[in-house]
Amino acid sequence: MKTHKSDTRPPRHHKANSSLLRLAADILRLRYAHFSRHTGLSPTAAEKLANTLESIADGLPTPNHIDPREATALAHRLIDDDHPELSNIWPATRPTASRSTHT
């Protein structure tokens, strides 16, 4: 049986990473899906991304084959409220009035 690098991590690390991803999913739902804090991200897109983070936490495959390390990086950005929209896995958003298009 072929193992992946993520399968060889110590159980403690896996549990901590899973907890981090679940916390980020909860934060995503609270900030974006329920309270519409980020007007460029629809509640549907926020819920879908939260479900993806939980799937990665559970070790399930994701439809877009998202790199778990990228998901972990996004989780840190969400928890720190540090521009999660800069993540490669953040859903595409429509332009908002708060974003400047001038150079």
* Boundaries of domain holding 80: 42-90
Whether 34 is in a domain gets the answer no
User: How many structural domains comprise the chain?
Assistant: 1
pTM over 0.95: no
Whether 54 is in a domain gets the answer yes
Whether 30 is in a domain gets the answer no
Q: Is 79 exposed, middle or buried (0-12, 13-18, 19+ CB in 10 A)?
A: middle
* Gap between the Cα atoms of 38 and 83, Å rounded: 11
What pLDDT, in 10s, does the model give residues 6-52?
455 556 667 889 999 999 999 999 888 777 665 578 888 889 999 99
- Compute φ and ψ for 21, nearest 5 degrees: -65, -40
Q: What is the mean pLDDT of residues 86-90?
A: 92
Whether 25 is in a domain gets the answer no
* Lookup: tokens for 13: 């690390």
Say what the pLDDT of residue 9 is.
53
Does residue 88 or residue 6 have the better pLDDT?
88
Whether 29 is in a domain gets the answer no
Whether 11 is in a domain gets the answer no
Closest to 43 in 3D by CA, of 51, 52, 33, 53: 33
The answer to which of 13-17, 63-67, 86-90 has the lowest mean pLDDT is 13-17
* Gap between the Cα atoms of 59 and 92, Å rounded: 25
Does residue 59 or residue 13 have the better pLDDT?
59
